[in-house]
Structure formats: structure tokens, C-alpha cells
Amino acid sequence: NDSFAVLVPFWAVWPFETMIVAKTHVANVSQLDTQQVRDLAAAMQALTIRYDNLFQCSFPYSMGLHQSPTATHPDAGCCHLHLHFYPPLLRSATVRKFLVGFEMMAEPQRDLTAEQAAARLRAQDPIHYKTRTT
């Protein structure tokens, strides 16, 4: 949308790891205007619907929000609002990815590229699978 981009970072460790990034410099959620709040909600909804549609299940994920610590913090102006989504599902609703010793201590092993994950998510219907009429 006009305010936020949803992307799969090239460094993604989790199969369908994504980020929602503000398109303009915004340090924290308190700086969002009314339209940006709506756009953030729309981006989150669009992403999580596509997650659910991917394997037609309630797709689990952990989400983190990165923003400036406080408005008066010396580095507040350097912070850029973004969200991370870390979903553990790999190949189906029942196959999860686990980081094992060599991945934790050396290099993560990817089952699909960031481009493949982005294409699969982009290809999902924007209508939630439970609410489709056909």
C-alpha cells in the first residue's frame, strides 16, 4: 500500500519469514498518522491472510516490532519502524522447521529461496480460505 511494503528479506532463515517496512522514515508507532495506522493494519491483515491460505490452516508465527526506544533517546532519529514475522511452518500445516545445532552455530539451511517464498505468498488469494464462497 502507500505506507508500508511487505517483503521476504534475502537473509530470511525461516521459510516464510517476512518484514513489514514503513516506506517513509517513521521512528515509532506514535508517529503514524491515521492513514498510516490503517495501512499498517491492512498490510498485517493481507500478510496473515496469505499465511493462513498457504496451507489452509491457522498459520502460527512470532511477530516482533522494531522502533525507537523513546522519542528522547539519542538514537531515536536513526530508528526505522518495521515488523518481523517468523513463521515455523515449512512444507505443510504439520511440517515445522527447527533450527538444529549446525544451523544455530554456523549457517542456516534454507529449503526455499526468499524469491520462492515471496512468489508463493504473493500467489495466495487475498480472501481468507474460510470466508471464500467458492
Q: Output the pLDDT for position 103.
A: 66
Alpha-carbon distance of 85 to 57, in angstroms, equals: 17
Q: Output the pLDDT for position 9.
A: 94
Share the mean pLDDT of the chain.
Answer: 88
Residue carrying C-alpha cell 530508528: 79
Alpha-carbon distance of 7 to 71, in angstroms, equals: 27
Q: Output the pLDDT for position 120.
A: 94
The residue among 3 and 73 whose pLDDT is bigger is 3
Alpha-carbon distance of 18 to 37, in angstroms, equals: 19
Of 8, 18, 13, give the one whose Cα is nearest residue 106: 13
In the chain, the amino acid numbered 6 is: V
Q: Sign of the C-alpha dihedral, residues 112, 65, 105, 10?
A: positive
The residue among 89 and 12 whose pLDDT is bigger is 12
Q: What is the pLDDT of residues 78-134, one digit of tens each?
A: 888 999 999 877 777 777 777 777 666 777 777 788 999 999 999 999 999 999 887
Q: Output the pLDDT for position 111.
A: 79
Q: Output the pLDDT for position 121.
A: 95
Q: Output the pLDDT for position 34.
A: 97
Q: Output the pLDDT for position 93.
A: 78
Q: Whole-model pTM?
A: 0.87
> What is the pLDDT averaged over residues 46-55?
94
